[in-house]
Amino acid sequence: MDTTRGSKEMVILAGNSHPELANLIASRLGKPLGNVSAYHSSNRETMVEIDDSVRGRDAFILQTGTKDVNNNIMELLIMAYACKTSSARNIVGVIPYLPYCKQSKMRKRGCIVSKLLAKMMYKAGLTHIITMDLHQKEIQGFFECPVDNLRASPFLLQYIQESIPDYRNAVIVARDPGSAKKATSYAERLRLGIAVIHGEQKTNEDEQADGRNSPPLVEHSRIMDVGVGVPALAAKEKPPINVVGDVGGRIAIMVDDMIDDVASFVAAAEVLKDRGAYKIYVMATHGLLSSDAPRLIDDSPIDEVVVTNTVPHEIQKMQCHKIKTVDISILLAESIRRIHNNESMSYLFRNVTLED
């Protein structure tokens, strides 16, 4: 009997979130997708049935975050737990876009949801995570298992060099000061200049009141009161929108990790157009493109929106011809192969700095 057979094999399981990407990855690995079905019962409970044996094998579960995010998570957790109870050797979650990664800080009187999700994934049985371009790199510290945070920037840089005519006349634009590090990284690799949009109405959560600035209740105390009290925190005032850097007569390329609500990108594009940019591109890893994003992009000065296929967006592409897709399945397939063969992952991070 060949006792090494099970330990040498892998099984690739895919949820319902992104079947097209799962098929691309399986094709590049030369492996068929495992027989698994995930569906809802009559009472809307998620049911998972795995028909292939996973005993002693490396199980790779492909699932990404989409608009049906909560069902995506339950499918992943149930599949992972099913593999765990079926004695899989390793259970690796391949999650190109990690759901809830924007909720990685304490807000108001809520909680850090991404940490909760990390604990749930680990408890369900995941022993390793492969993901791409986390919204905050510190999220890796929430997991009690190894996390490989891959980068899509080489693919987007290649697109700029091969598909944008006269890209040497471009300038990399940070949509807000918080994106300046990523923009600087792109600019240094392309040997281009950088511009930063300052004064834009921020959409991130940093400006939301969370109650920590509320004055404390007045209480009698034995501590001497000098009559000054707690100084009030001055309210922030947004300066007029301004572009720091020259974009006149240049191609403006905005870079970010995700495009969800496009309103801020459209507002930035209008400012860049007013400052003389003659072409405007938006590059991002995750194209969530929520709400009426296709219509807003179509009516905006943006010439192209380039995203990877970490999240399915075929419907949005049919609604807006400006949306282009870069395939990153080869990177995910190579990471799966290396983990399965116990090879180093450092090759996939070559020439990648912490600012990416």
Instruction: Note the pLDDT of residue 2.
Output: 41
- Pair 316, 293: CB distance under 8 Å: yes
Q: How many angstroms separate the Cα of 101 from the Cα of each of 44, 131, 185, 237, 347?
A: 26, 11, 22, 28, 25
Q: Of 283, 200, 209, which Cα lies nearest the Cα of 244? A: 200
Long-range CB pairs of 110-119 (<8 Å, 24+ gap) are 112/142, 114/139, 114/142, 115/142, 117/73, 118/142, 118/143, 118/144, 119/144
Our CA angle for 78, 81, 85, nearest 5°, is 140
d(CA 320, CA 109): 39
For position 4, what pLDDT does the model report?
A: 42
Sign of torsion, CA 256 260 261 263? Answer: positive
Looking at the DSSP assignment, which residues form a beta bridge with residue 60? Answer: 12, 92
Strand partners for 256: 284
Low-confidence ranges of the chain (pLDDT < 50): 1-7, 202-204, 207, 353-354
Cβ burial, residue 217 (10 Å; 0-12/13-18/19+) = exposed
Instruction: Report the alpha-carbon distance of residue 53 to residue 7 in Å, rounded.
Output: 12
Alpha carbon 345 to chain centroid distance? 20
Residue 27 is predicted with a pLDDT of 97
Query: Quick check: helix, strand or coil at residue 263?
Result: helix
3-state class (DSSP) for residue 326: strand
Cβ distance 237 to 265 under 8 Å?
A: no
* SS3 state of residue 180: helix
Over the stretch 239-256, which tens digit does the pLDDT of each residue have? 777 899 999 999 999 999
Nearest C-alpha neighbor of 169 from the set 282, 252, 245 = 252
pLDDT at 327: 97
84 near 125, Cβ under 8 Å? yes
Task: With beta carbons less than 8 A apart as the criterion, state whether 132 and 97 touch.
Answer: yes
> DSSP readout, 183-194?
HHHHHHHHT-EE
Q: Give the pLDDT score at 25.
A: 97
The amino acid occupying position 35 is N
pTM of the model: 0.86
Tokens representing 78 are 């149930």
Q: What pLDDT is attached to residue 353?
A: 47
Q: In the prediction, which pLDDT does 5 show?
A: 42
Residue position matching structure tokens 């292939």: 52
Query: Where are the extended beta strands (E) located within the chain?
Result: 10-14, 36-40, 46-50, 58-62, 90-95, 128-132, 147-150, 170-174, 193-198, 242-244, 251-259, 279-287, 304-308, 323-326
Whole-angstrom Cα distance, residue 257 to residue 45?
Answer: 33
pLDDT for the residue numbered 242 = 84
Strands of 46-201, DSSP E: 46-50, 58-62, 90-95, 128-132, 147-150, 170-174, 193-198
Buried b (16+ CB within 10 A) or exposed e, 104-142: beebeeeebbbbebbeebbebbbbbbbbbbbbeeebeeb
